[in-house]
């Protein structure tokens, strides 16, 4: 008995490829007369492509039909955006109604106590007794509140000076260190509210801008009546040398103070070549 010859991979591939290309005829016959009604030539490849295309078309069309039509609302577990919004709104309304009903019940109960004269005496606490959980530490202003208070006070003082025709304060804040001409300190050091803009104290012309980003910038502005104002410690400058500035116009900006490299802000005022008290002229307070 002869053993069958073993085929190689190439021969197997050609054999399967030939099967895919082998043609078949699909014929529809009339059962009574055996008359041919319909015939079609098919092969495995065409049948596979036709069935695969039909299945793919069915999947894609079903996906689009469900995703982009109202039919998606019939999917179990699906909730539309409008339904979620309505649920959130109803939840808020329910909470409001619960609070309102509790308030009404408490109000009616207290009215009933007053009518019957059965108000428990232990519910009346003395006005001198602080409520539970009260602490005097809560009355102390926070750092943010103190800065806001300083800014409001400085703006009010600046508005008063503006109404009187005096020079404006370049920035809101309090005096940190006064000037001392004997020690060579001509500038008034201000504990400014940061971040904030630095404005011109009066109309004038920018004479010079010096400094760097790391050390801070200084700007000198010349005003009428031989007055000069000098702004030291700016983090950013917006004016240019030679440009004319109006009273209250922004000259630069102070950023948040870096603890490792603090740049204090100072303001100097010179009249007829002599330094004057900036605190007195601008209305700064300690």
pLDDT tens for residues 5-63? Answer: 677 887 788 878 888 888 888 888 888 888 888 888 888 888 889 999 999 999 999 88
- Residue 1 confidence (pLDDT) above 90: no
Secondary structure of residue 192 in the 3-state scheme: strand
pLDDT of residue 121: 56
Lowest mean pLDDT, pick from 56-60, 78-82, 85-89, 196-200: 78-82
- Shortest CA distance to 209 belongs to which of 184, 233, 227? 233
More confident residue, 152 or 250: 250
Backbone angles phi, psi at 193, to 5 degrees: -75, 125
More confident residue, 129 or 100: 100
- Shortest CA distance to 147 belongs to which of 174, 123, 107? 174
The pair of three-digit structure tokens given for residue 51, joined into one six-digit string:
């069935």
- Are the C-beta atoms of 219 and 208 separated by less than 8 Å? yes
State how far the Cα of 271 lies from the Cα of 209, in Å rounded to an integer: 20
**In what helix (H) or strand (E) does residue 162 lie, and over which residues does it extend?**
helix 143-163
147-150 contacts: CB < 8 A, separation 24 or more? 147/193, 150/174, 150/191, 150/193
- Residue 185 confidence (pLDDT) above 90: no
According to DSSP, the residues that pair with 204 across neighbouring strands are: 223, 245
pLDDT of residue 8: 81
Where residue 125 falls among pLDDT bands split at 50, 70, 90? low
Residue the block writes with tokens 């307070």: 285
- Are the C-beta atoms of 173 and 286 separated by less than 8 Å? no
State how far the Cα of 277 lies from the Cα of 181, in Å rounded to an integer: 10
Where residue 69 falls among pLDDT bands split at 50, 70, 90? confident
pLDDT of residue 132: 65
Where residue 229 falls among pLDDT bands split at 50, 70, 90? very high
pLDDT of residue 67: 80
pLDDT of residue 160: 61
- Residue 157 confidence (pLDDT) above 70: no
Q: Mean pLDDT across the chain, nearest whole number?
A: 82
pLDDT of residue 200: 92
Question: 258: exposed, middle or buried (C-beta count within 10 Å: 0-12, 13-18, 19+)?
Answer: exposed
State how far the Cα of 205 lies from the Cα of 184, in Å rounded to an integer: 26
The predicted model gives 249-269 an average pLDDT of: 86
- Are the C-beta atoms of 222 and 203 separated by less than 8 Å? no
Cα→Cα distances 30→127, 239, 279, Å? 108, 100, 116
Residue 190 CB coordination number (10 Å): 27
The pair of three-digit structure tokens given for residue 258, joined into one six-digit string:
């870096």
The percent of residues in the chain predicted with pLDDT above 70, rounded, is: 85
According to DSSP, the residues that pair with 205 across neighbouring strands are: 222, 244
- Residue 154 confidence (pLDDT) above 70: no
The pair of three-digit structure tokens given for residue 214, joined into one six-digit string:
């790391």
pLDDT of residue 223: 92
Secondary structure of residue 8 in the 3-state scheme: coil
- Residue 127 confidence (pLDDT) above 80: no
**In what helix (H) or strand (E) does residue 27 lie, and over which residues does it extend?**
strand 23-29
Q: Which of 109-123, 162-176, 179-193, 226-240 shows the highest mean pLDDT? A: 226-240
């Amino acid at each position: 008995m002869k053993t069958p010859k073993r085929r190689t991979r190439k021969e197997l591939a050609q054999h399967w490829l030939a099967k895919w290309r082998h043609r078949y005829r699909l014929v529809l016959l009339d059962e009574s007369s055996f008359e041919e009604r319909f015939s079609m030539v098919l092969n495995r490849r065409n049948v596979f492509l036709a069935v695969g295309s039909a299945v793919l078309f069915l999947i894609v069309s079903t996906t689009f039909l469900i995703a982009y039509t109202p039919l998606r609302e019939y999917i179990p577990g699906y909730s539309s955006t409008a339904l979620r919004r309505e649920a959130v709104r109803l939840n808020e309304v329910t909470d409001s109604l619960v609070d309102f009903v509790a308030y009404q019940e408490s109000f009616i109960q207290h009215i009933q106590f007053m009518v019957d004269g059965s108000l428990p005496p232990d519910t009346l606490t003395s006005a001198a007794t602080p409520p539970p959980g009260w602490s005097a530490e809560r009355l102390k202003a926070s750092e943010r509140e103190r800065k806001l208070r300083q800014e409001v006070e400085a703006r009010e003082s600046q508005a008063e000076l503006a109404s009187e025709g005096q020079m404006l304060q370049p920035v809101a804040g309090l005096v940190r260190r006064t000037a001392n001409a004997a020690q060579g300190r001509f500038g008034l050091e201000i504990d400014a509210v940061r971040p904030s803009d630095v404005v011109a104290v009066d109309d004038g012309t920018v004479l010079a801008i010096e400094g760097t980003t790391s050390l801070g910038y200084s700007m000198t502005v010349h005003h009428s009546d031989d007055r000069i104002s000098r702004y030291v410690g700016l983090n950013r400058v917006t004016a240019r040398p030679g440009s004319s500035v109006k009273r209250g116009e922004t000259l630069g900006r102070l950023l948040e103070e870096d603890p490792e490299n603090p740049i204090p802000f100072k303001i100097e005022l010179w009249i007829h070549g002599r330094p004057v008290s900036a605190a007195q002229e601008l209305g700064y307070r300690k």
